[in-house]
Amino acid sequence: MTETTNECLGLRERKRRETRLRIEDCATELILDRGFDQVTLEEICEKAGVSRRTFFNYFDSKDQVTSGTGFPVFAASDLDTFAATDCDNVVRDILRFIGNRIDNDPDTSPSLSPDPELSRRISARRRQIVNATPHLMVSGMRRFDDLAGVVLTTIHTHLTTFPGRRRTPDLSAYEEAVLLTSFIRQCLLSARLLHPESGLPRADLLHRVGRDLINLAAAYQGGWD
């Protein structure tokens, strides 16, 4: 690949990021000013100077551009190593993987944005909008929900392959995997709710939230028999 080709690819990627950021900026500005239900997709596209087709190249819906994508897309095969590799805590490692992907994806990491300050302002607007429109909180989780079956299969395979890593002998490996998948989802959701302005890397933040949830559950372990 020539230097000219690399430069063209770099310019194309920067233009893509700038277009995405402009759509986010226009959408959150309009919706914060007028309310979620009072802004149409057509108005967002007009303000951003893009077509509906271009909009849907970047976002699945008005809900998603308002609340954010949550975390980047990754292939199911990215989780194969967790299914086949022995480790002392597969849930912790999957959360760290997701956090690192968020921290290193230009569409979800403000530090990699073409305009970090604008990205931070968009994040601040989103927090205000979601506080006023609670149903939007789950919109950012849709990408995880789309892959929840893959996460479940990965954990189930891991626990079946390495039965010594199971923690709940009264449950089947599948039942334990279901609960652990739910735990990962709750960590992702709680991190957005509890620490919206944290400067920590997302990988560290998810680790912190996971630890706090485990400690909280342990504090409530009495009285269930």
Place of tokens 């900026």: 25
pTM: 0.78
The answer to whether residue 9 sits within a structural domain is no
Q: Please, is 195 exposed, middle or buried when counting C-beta atoms within 10 Å of its C-beta (0-12, 13-18, 19+)? A: middle
The answer to whether residue 104 sits within a structural domain is yes
**Is it the case that residue 5 has pLDDT exceeding 50?**
no
**Is it the case that residue 4 has pLDDT exceeding 70?**
no
The answer to whether residue 157 sits within a structural domain is yes
The answer to whether residue 92 sits within a structural domain is yes
Taking the C-alpha atoms of residue 222 and residue 14, their distance in angstroms, rounded to an integer, is: 54
The answer to whether residue 25 sits within a structural domain is no
Q: Between the CA of residue 91 and those of 33, 127, 161, what are the distances in Å?
A: 40, 28, 15
Residue 168 belongs to domain spanning: 61-219
The answer to whether residue 89 sits within a structural domain is yes
Count the domains in the chain: 1
pLDDT tens-digit readout, 84-132: 999 999 999 999 998 998 888 877 777 788 898 998 899 889 889 988 8
The answer to whether residue 37 sits within a structural domain is no
Q: Which amino acid is at 109?
A: S
Taking the C-alpha atoms of residue 154 and residue 181, their distance in angstroms, rounded to an integer, is: 10
Cβ within 8 Å of residue 102, ≥6 positions away: 71, 72, 108, 109, 202, 203
